[in-house]
Amino acid sequence: MMNFLKKTLARLRKDEDGVTLVEYGIALTLAVAVGTIALGTLGDAVTTQMDDATACLNGGTCD
């Protein structure tokens, strides 16, 4: 039984088919996380600019 487990583990270490899929999954997750953070930051900046423009058009202070 122990010999079977050793052979199976040795075969799995040499098999690299699943590694590529895992790498793509990690890269996709990282890209989605970075994109979400970037869009959130950009959205906040746009909201601030639009609020400033609205205040200026309504007779408020314009910078």
pLDDT tens-digit readout, 4-62: 888 877 777 776 666 677 788 899 999 999 999 999 999 989 999 999 999 999 987 77
User: Which residue range(s) make up the domain with 31?
Assistant: 22-48
Q: Is 53 exposed, middle or buried (0-12, 13-18, 19+ CB in 10 A)?
A: exposed
In a domain, 14, yes or no: no
Per the confidence metrics, is the pTM higher than 0.75? no
Residue type, 14: K
Short-list 49, 26, 46, 28, CA closest to 38: 46
In a domain, 58, yes or no: no
In a domain, 26, yes or no: yes
Number of domains comprising the chain: 1
CA distance 49 to 21: 42
Residue 18: what pLDDT? Answer: 64
Residue 16: what pLDDT? Answer: 66
Residue 29: what pLDDT? Answer: 95
In a domain, 55, yes or no: no
Residue 1: what pLDDT? Answer: 74
